Amino acid sequence: MLIRIGYDIELGVTAPTALIYMLQVHPSRAGDIVGGENTTISPPLATDFYRDGFDNQCARVRVPAGVTRVRLRNEAQVFDTGWPDPVNLGAYEYMPDQLPVETLRFLLPSRYCEVDGELLAFAWSTFGQVPKGWSLVQAICDYVHQHLVFDYQSARPTRTALEAWRERVGVCRDFTHLAITLCRCMNVPARYVTGYLGDIGIPPVPYPMDFSAWFEVYLGDRWWTFDARHNTPRIGRIKIAHGRDAADVPITMVFGNHTLERFEVVTEEVVG
């Protein structure tokens, strides 16, 4: 199938600054983009493209004096198999001393994922007897899915995994942070993913379209997709970036005062 993706984001700025955006499709899906992405910046501004330490595609826009608004737009079509997220119930779990060294940073505490302390004790008391591997990660997803209530009105960009656990409410990033933290507490490498996820194969939901967050864990010899918010295999995920948590993968980041003037996201199956 073909999936149409895109965004229209406008930011107001008050002084010369730099704007970083992480909105390009991840290199792992670059071969699925039909005809490339069509990113435009209004007004046209000098832009530097680079890869970060997680191999995500990033861009720095240099905003000079006199510019008060920056508008980012993109539209593209991406080929997708149309299959749900793969499931491998037999995927096994490495002990920490056997993990590939590049996965170890996804076991450590990070900005929004407090692996030590209260959640560590809770994780081992709750999941310590669950069989390791896929069953353990699924048990964590089941718990987070039931423990948190999804509520856009409660969104807070500074909420950590521990705070979400205590408050029992959040949005997709909170479900993801809590699940990642519990996985890391149980010595399963877990990383945060941001990307597109539309209402493909499910009834439409009564929320405005947005970018989505889910997570990946390292089991066996690869990374596998899990989603504590939806807690079911989904069709049509298109990855933009991954990192230790949301702090590593900001959609946009402005160095200075700014306002969000427009935010529209599109992800839908191309029909006909």
User: What residue segments make up the domains of the chain, in order of their start?
Assistant: 2-82+250-269, 96-234
Spatial distance between the Cα atoms of 252 and 11, rounded to a whole number of angstroms: 9
For position 208, what pLDDT does the model report?
Answer: 82
pLDDT in tens, 72-104: 999 999 999 999 999 999 999 999 999 999 999
Query: Which CATH number does 2-82+250-269 carry?
Result: 2.60.40.2250
Q: What is the mean pLDDT of the chain?
A: 96
Same fold, 2-82+250-269 and 96-234: no
Q: pTM higher than 0.85, yes or no? A: yes
Q: Average the pLDDT over 104-121 and give the result.
A: 96
Residue type, 27: P
Whether residue 206 is predicted with pLDDT greater than 80 in this model: the reply is no
Percent of the chain at pLDDT > 70 equals: 100
- Residue 92 CA to residue 81 CA, distance in Å, equals 25
- Dist. CA 52–CA 164, nearest whole Å: 28
The predicted structure's pLDDT at residue 24? 96
pLDDT of residue 193: 98
- pLDDT per position as a tens digit, 6-64: 999 999 999 999 999 999 999 999 999 999 899 999 999 999 999 999 999 999 999 99
Listing DSSP states for 156-202 in one string gives -TT--HHHHHHHTEE-HHHHHHHHHHHHHHTT--EEEEEEE----SS
126, β-bridge pairs: none
The pLDDT of 192-196, averaged and rounded, is: 98
Report pLDDT for 207.
Answer: 77
CATH class of residue range 96-234: alpha beta
Q: How many CB atoms lie within 10 A of CB 231?
A: 17
